[in-house]
């Protein structure tokens, strides 16, 4: 089976985290920013653990300084993603990295991203939608302008609100104000949880932030009552196995809980998170799922059906990419 050409739906990527290292190195050289310390000898990103990953990620983001930089980034990312058969992709974009949470600046950045997304759709047949993202370790106050940006720009391109970043900073309830603001604006919600914080963090996120999807969510595997709740509430998990393996959220592919969760009836989907950071692609994720769990075309078709149903875009877009 050619995993590369199989049409795929991907719900969990971070736009800046999809930046090829050569692209970031190029921007750094143009702007004379010294971030040589974030690269390994082989040219890839270098980090020791999750906290260091977040620092390297943010250092890479310092090179992205204008709407034009984000237009070029969006195009570069979509060219790479489309080459792996992805026909629909949702990506987290943070106002914190696009004008520091200022609404007028955010709108300029967004226009540039949308422009590139349209060009990529016309040329490559891949559809991109954005999920405005608060960064948890920047704190609850910093997430409020992000939610306001989401509420003010929710529409065709911006389809959701979410939160990424250091999961062990604060409790989900600390961020309820932002999620409430987004929910009241009618925006679909997702939040990273259960990548590091186990079943308790997933349960609190569902209870206090009332999200439709959970980013990662793998910690739920340890709590049968929580799995029942996930089934009952029809919550979808955006699972990123390659990311979990490289960041050591799990011990390895063989012990990754995605198969157990799927066997329990949980709606799982598969994404790459930040592919160049984790030396992965959607093709590689499928190949590893095949190798580790014996998943075949039938399982992959189900993953994509689940992902498209859980996508935050409107039904017309779903019908077009199906």
167 binds Zn ion (CB under 5 A): no
Q: How far is the CB of 122 from ligand ADE (least distance, A)?
A: 28
17 interface partner picked from ligand ADE, Zn ion, none, CB below 5 to 8 A per type = ligand ADE
- Of 114 and 273, nearer to Zn ion (C-beta) is 273
Give the strand order in the sheet containing 8-14.
8-14, 86-93, 127-135, 158-164
Q: How far is the CB of 131 from ligand ADE (least distance, A)?
A: 12
Q: How far is the CB of 14 from Zn ion (least distance, A)?
A: 6
Q: Is 10 a catalytic residue?
A: no
Q: Identify the residue among 25, 84, 183, 192 touching ligand ADE (CB under 6 A).
A: 192
96 binds ligand ADE (CB under 6 A): no
- Of 62 and 317, nearer to ligand ADE (C-beta) is 62
Chain positions 253 to 282 lying near Zn ion, rule: CB under 5 A, are 273
Q: How far is the CB of 273 from ligand ADE (least distance, A)?
A: 5
DSSP conformation letters of 83-145: TTTEEEEEEEE-GGGTTTT-HHHHHHHHHHHHHHHHHHHHHH--EEEEEEEEEGGG-HHHHHH
* 140 Cβ contact list (under 8 Å, min separation 6): 170, 174, 175, 177, 178
Distance CA 224, CA 207 (A): 16
273 binds ligand ADE (CB under 6 A): yes
16 binds Zn ion (CB under 5 A): no
132 binds ligand ADE (CB under 6 A): no
Catalytic annotation, pick one of 10, 195, 238, 285: 195
Q: Identify the residue among 3, 9, 10, 14 touching ligand ADE (CB under 6 A).
A: 14
Distance CA 111, CA 146 (A): 16
| 8 A C-beta contact, residue 24 and residue 70 | no
Q: How many residues bind ligand ADE (CB under 6 A)?
A: 10
Q: What angle do the packed helices 297-310 and 282-293 form, to 10 degrees? A: 130
| 8 A C-beta contact, residue 129 and residue 159 | yes
CB atoms closer than 10 angstroms to residue 137:
15
- The residue sitting closest to Zn ion, measured at its beta carbon, is 273
**Which residues are marked as active site?**
195
């Amino acid at each position: 089976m050619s995993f590369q050409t199989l049409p795929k739906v991907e719900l969990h990527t971070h736009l800046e985290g999809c930046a090829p290292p050569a692209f970031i190195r190029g921007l750094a050289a143009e702007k004379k920013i010294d971030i040589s310390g974030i690269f390994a000898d082989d040219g890839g990103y270098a980090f020791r653990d999750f906290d260091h990953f977040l620092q390297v990620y943010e250092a890479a983001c310092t090179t992205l300084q204008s709407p034009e930089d984000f237009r070029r980034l969006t195009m570069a990312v979509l060219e790479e993603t489309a080459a792996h058969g992805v026909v629909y992709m949702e990506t987290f974009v943070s106002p914190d990295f696009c004008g520091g949470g200022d609404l007028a600046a955010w709108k300029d950045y967004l226009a540039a991203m949308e422009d590139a997304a349209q060009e990529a759709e016309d040329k490559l047949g891949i559809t991109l939608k954005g999920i405005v993202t608060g960064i948890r370790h920047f704190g609850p106050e910093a997430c409020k302008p992000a939610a306001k940006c989401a509420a003010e720009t929710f529409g065709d391109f911006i389809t959701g609100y979410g939160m990424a970043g250091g999961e062990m900073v604060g409790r989900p309830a600390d961020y309820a104000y932002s999620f409430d603001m987004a929910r009241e604006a009618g925006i679909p919600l997702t939040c990273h949880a259960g990548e590091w914080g186990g079943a308790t963090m997933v349960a609190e996120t569902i209870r206090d932030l009332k999200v439709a999807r959970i980013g990662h969510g793998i910690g739920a595997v340890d709590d049968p009552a929580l799995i029942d709740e996930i089934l009952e509430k029809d919550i979808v998990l955006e699972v990123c196995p390659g990311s979990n393996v490289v960041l050591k959220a799990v011990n390895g592919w063989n012990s990754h809980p995605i198969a157990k969760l799927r066997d329990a009836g949980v709606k799982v989907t598969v994404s790459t998170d930040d592919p160049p950071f984790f030396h992965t692609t959607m093709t590689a994720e499928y190949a590893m799922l095949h190798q580790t769990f014996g998943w075949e075309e039938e399982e992959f078709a189900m993953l994509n059906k689940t992902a498209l149903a859980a996508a935050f875009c409107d039904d017309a877009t779903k019908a077009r990419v199906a």
